[in-house]
Amino acid sequence: MFEALLALTISLPIISITPPEYDTAQDASIQLYGGIQSPNRDLLAGFEAGAKFEYLVIHPYILRFGLDYSESTVTDPFAPAGTKSSLTLSSEALVYIGKNGIISYMGLGVTYGINSIDINSSTRDSLKRTLDIDEVGLTNNYGYRVFVGMRFAEKIVFEMSFQQSNPQYIYKRQINAETFSEQNIDGTFSVARVTLGYLIPL
């Protein structure tokens, strides 16, 4: 995936910016998209779906604000087995070039993930029996995203990106009826993403 991102980035003809008279980008639009996240040491391949609001600030710069939902299975041997779910808010900036309905672009952004994990029953029983852990969760956290992509026929969007975040696993033990102890352990989620979207002009 990293090689593909590098190759697509190099292929972008960013030396000469497209003259405004050939610009096919919309002043404002909504992008609906879905895609997959690649497997890695920490997670199995997962899916995501979301929407972004795009605003053309000034040729050739666009700001995007998005919300997406993703889900995948945790495979880190040092983390509890279960399903990780994230609702991610994003704020991104991109620069683009192109004409005749085809646009290439690249950019980066900041993300904020609202995370949760649903551990499976065998893991829950094992944690309770061996470590006296009653509940496992994930903290919300900031991360970053870098991406490159292409638009076809002014509305079809293909994008590849890399995203990293570092939430903490929360382990809770019940001391008595009213008291819990809590231990936080660092985690890392680094994923490559491939998405396909559709732009709706506003």
Predicted TM-score of the model (pTM): 0.75
- Top-tier CATH class for 2-117+140-165+190-201: mainly beta
What average pLDDT does this structure show over 62-91? 83
Domain residue limits, the chain: 2-117+140-165+190-201
pLDDT digits (tens, 9 = 90+) for 30-57: 999 999 988 877 777 888 999 999 988 8
Mean pLDDT along residues 51-70: 89
Residue pLDDT, tens place only, 129-181: 555 566 677 888 899 999 998 888 778 889 999 998 888 877 777 676 666 67
Neighbouring C-beta atoms of residue 71, cutoff 10 Å? 14
Give pLDDT, residue 15: 40
Cα–Cα distance between 198 and 177 in angstroms, integer? Answer: 52
Q: Of the given ranges (62-71, 134-143, 193-202), which has the lowest mean pLDDT?
A: 134-143
Q: Which residue has the higher pLDDT, 180 or 86?
A: 86
Closest Cα to residue 31, out of 86, 105, 116?
A: 105
Task: Write down the pLDDT at residue 166.
Answer: 84
As a whole number, mean pLDDT of residues 108-117 equals 90
pLDDT of residue 67: 95
Average pLDDT score, the chain: 78
Lowest-confidence pick of 19-28, 63-72, 99-108, 155-164: 19-28
